[in-house]
Amino acid sequence: MNMDLREALSILSKSSPYAVTTVSELAGTEFDELKKCLYVKTEIEEAFEAKLAKIKSGEILFLCGSSGDGKSEILTKYKKKNEQYIDFHLDATHSFKPDMSAIDTLDKVFADHAAGSRPLVVGINIGMLGNYEREGSDTHASIKQAINAFLNNETIDSHFTFLDFESYPKFTIKDGRVSSPFFSNLLDNVVKDDRSNKFREYFNKDYGNPKEAVLCSNYLMLRDRRIQNVVIELLLNARIRKDQFVTARMLLDFIHSILTGPNYLFDNLFNGGDNELLKVLIDFDPSVIRNHKLDLFILHRTLELQDEDYRAFQTAVTKKFGLPNNLDPQSTVRMLYILKECDLGSNYHRNFKGSFNERPLQKYKQVWEAHRNYDGNSNDKKWLREFYSKIVLKAINKYANRNAAYLSKDEFYLSSHGGCDLAAEVELSIDYKSIEANNSEDLAAFNMYLEVDGEKLEAIPIGVNLLVLMMDIVEGYRPNKYDKNSVVLLDELITKITQKASAADTLFLHKDGERIKLRASSDNEIRVSGL
């Protein structure tokens, strides 16, 4: 064991020669043993393995995803086991010859497949699937039709199977808590205190080395399951609030960065760096939050005022994680944040748990799970009705009528003409049957289903940012240019409602506090009342 912990952890970095697995050139070395330690069998690999065991002559299996999601790992592993009777095309973005494009190469692969009888497995990016569907040879029309059906969520010919990484989300929400079995297992394979963990041997070797004190403290912190949970929630925030794609390779590099970065774990998380996830997490830095409790705490730490409870807490933190007691205020707030679920000493840090403004994410998780699990239960229906009534329908009405706030909750502003406001009476209701039938696992949004005067609207994806905007509107907030992306989605929703409302038989004209009712009769005349 000649390496130290830092060198051993370098295998996680995206710059490591092991970032993409091909045939190992260092079989039997320490790096090879570490690589084996990182292995985590995922749901999609289990599905892939099960399909390979049943694949029939002439069938095609597509393993679809994005760069860095782990396709190469799976394909390389199962090619070695099955290449005697199954053909593999590991990377559909590559060509066989310099004068052939990736599309040309796929045409040849499919032609060879059609000429034989063996099953075929193709590793392919989603973008490349779309390219081939548009540009591939019409000789392979059945394959292009199957790709088109897959991309449009339509029924696929049983001769073809598509396994897509996006159908196996890396995060799950259950009972209001977020988890990531894949990421948790990946972390455990790096930091768990178990003899089977090769990285633990290097940690034990370096523990007590003053030159690696920060690295060892980071390792101990990331070993704590409650700190892991906070990190997982941060990654979920990045996924759903910033639409950040998360791949296996990205997660490995992320673990490497927060462990071996120049500072303590809590600073490495929020200081940015050469990692896509870290660049996004800057926007969730708890040290920039301003409220009375945190501001007072920072002031006291800056002035170095005596606080026995805080000192006792510092002692407990130092004992457990080896952290110094002279952190600057910014780092201290970040530390309080990542330790918020931990049980330490007198739990002084728990005083600040409510200061980190996590209500939006908590609400989103609750609402997402309520939609995902709804099965018609009366209690669940009551909860959904209350949510829609107090937030969704109220926000829609307030935003739609922002230019005519005097309108009643059942009226929707349509337009203004010559000083008169035109409105329609609309009944918005919840489409519970569509909510019950929905089975989307996409954590980035839940599907909202509404009816306008009894007529169903198309499913409306609601992400956390749009939900937060609705919550703010209910509290009296008026959207501005900084809410542009969410406002566009809200405008689209209002447009769908007003388009149906404007076709109603009855409209209202409002001017100077007076209301005139206009109703279309069966004889194509407009009847006026209220004059």
Q: What is the DSSP string of 222-254?
A: HHSHHHHHHHHHHHHHHHHHS-----HHHHHHH
Q: pTM of the entire structure?
A: 0.85
Rounded distance between C-alpha atoms, residue 92 and residue 103, angstroms: 8
Eight-class DSSP state of 68: T
Give, for all 531 residues of the chain, the pLDDT tens digit.
578 999 999 999 988 766 554 444 555 677 878 888 888 899 999 999 999 999 999 999 999 988 778 888 899 889 999 999 999 998 877 666 777 888 999 999 999 999 999 999 999 998 999 999 999 999 999 999 999 999 998 989 999 999 999 888 889 998 888 899 999 999 999 999 998 899 999 999 999 999 999 999 999 999 999 999 999 999 999 998 888 888 888 999 999 999 999 999 999 999 998 999 999 999 999 999 988 888 998 898 888 888 888 888 999 999 999 999 889 999 999 999 999 999 988 888 888 888 887 788 889 999 999 999 999 999 999 999 999 999 999 999 999 898 888 888 788 888 888 788 888 888 889 999 999 998 888 888 999 999 988 889 888 899 999 999 999 999 988 887 777 788 888 999 888 888 887 777 778 888 888 888 877 666 665 666 655
Q: What is the pLDDT of residue 389?
A: 94
CA proximity to 60, closest of 161, 131, 133: 161
Surface-to-core class of residue 21, CB atoms within 10 Å of its CB (0-12 exposed, 13-18 middle, 19+ buried): middle
Q: So where are the chain's domains?
A: 43-167, 172-359, 371-529
Position 39 scores a pLDDT of 85
Percent composition of the chain: helix, strand, coil (DSSP 3-state, to 5): 55, 15, 35
Cβ neighbours of residue 49 closer than 8 Å, sequence gap 6 or more: 78
Return d(Cα 459, Cα 457) in angstroms, integer: 6
Q: Which string of DSSP letters, residue by residue, matches 184-236? A: HHHHHHHH--STT-HHHHHHHHHTT-GGGHHHHHHHHHHHSHHHHHHHHHHHH
Taking Cα atoms as reference points, which of 370, 355, 202 lies closest to residue 293? 355
